[in-house]
Amino acid sequence: GADGKHLHAAPMARPNSPIGHADPEVTKVANAALRPIGACHPSDFLQFMDDTISHSPRVHRQAHAIVCTTDLIKKSPAVMYLHIFRLVGLILKVLDPHMHSLRDYCLPASTAALRTVVSQYDNVVFQQTKQRLAAGDHVGQVIIYNMRTATKWTMWTAHNKGVSAMQFSPNGDYLATYCNAQASLKVWQYEGVSVLGMPASPKMMQNFTVQNNLLRTDPQMFGTPGSALTWSANATEIR
């Protein structure tokens, strides 16, 4: 249950049992109990899951935290839109390459979670070749994560209002960001490295004003097929 400020532990999978072999009835009850709490208090829900991942000594609890979070994304995607960076950061916590046991155990759950996030939100995209994940938030900021290290690669303000959609170019060298509120489509080169060996600030290569809105922005429509930006195969057009 919840008292408005704190979440209390719900039943988790049995100790020492893989998440995929947890008692399905226990998992179902736990998810059902946490889902309405997350829908009403998403910030508290994410904090509870973050605390579970950070402090629980049992990997099955950490994996179950990811499973519960994925379930909430599927059922109530709109409530997580305002917390997109916290959401992605939560999932990446269990992918730390220095924590081998945690990463290996949670890999199926975290992979499913990231696939769900990318499929539900046009403002989160993944680039397979370069192993980069990009997320844009409701105030116009963008973070690109290095998925090999599960860490932030770079962060910048792409728009003055919310990022509606993004897409990497086919070769992964560029990122297109779109803001429906400003009818603005920008193309960024983000892979530069400074003289100190740190990621350089992304460079805006193109800035277009879109005459007709490309995408819907109704949060109730998250996950609607055909709504994302698409690059042409030769990376000369975005539609």
Q: What is the residue-level pLDDT of the chain in tens, covering all 239 positions? A: 444 333 333 333 433 334 444 555 666 666 677 888 899 999 999 999 999 999 999 999 999 999 999 999 998 999 999 999 999 999 999 999 999 999 999 999 999 999 999 999 999 999 999 999 999 999 999 999 999 999 999 999 999 999 999 999 998 899 999 998 898 999 999 877 655 667 778 999 999 888 766 554 444 445 444 446 787 776 666 77
The number of beta carbons lying within 10 Å of the beta carbon of residue 38 is 26
Q: Which domain holds residue 202?
A: 122-239
Same domain flag for 23 and 91: yes
Same domain flag for 141 and 97: no
Same domain flag for 19 and 67: yes
Same domain flag for 66 and 135: no
Q: Calculate the CA dihedral of residues 97, 23, 56, 153 and round it to 10 degrees.
A: 30
Beta partners for residue 178, in sequence order: 165, 185
| Beta-strand runs (E) in 31-150 | 124-127, 132-136, 141-146
Reported pTM: 0.81
Task: From 78, 77, 113, select the one nearest 95 (Cα to Cα).
Answer: 113
The CATH number given to whatever domain includes residue 189 is 2.130.10.10
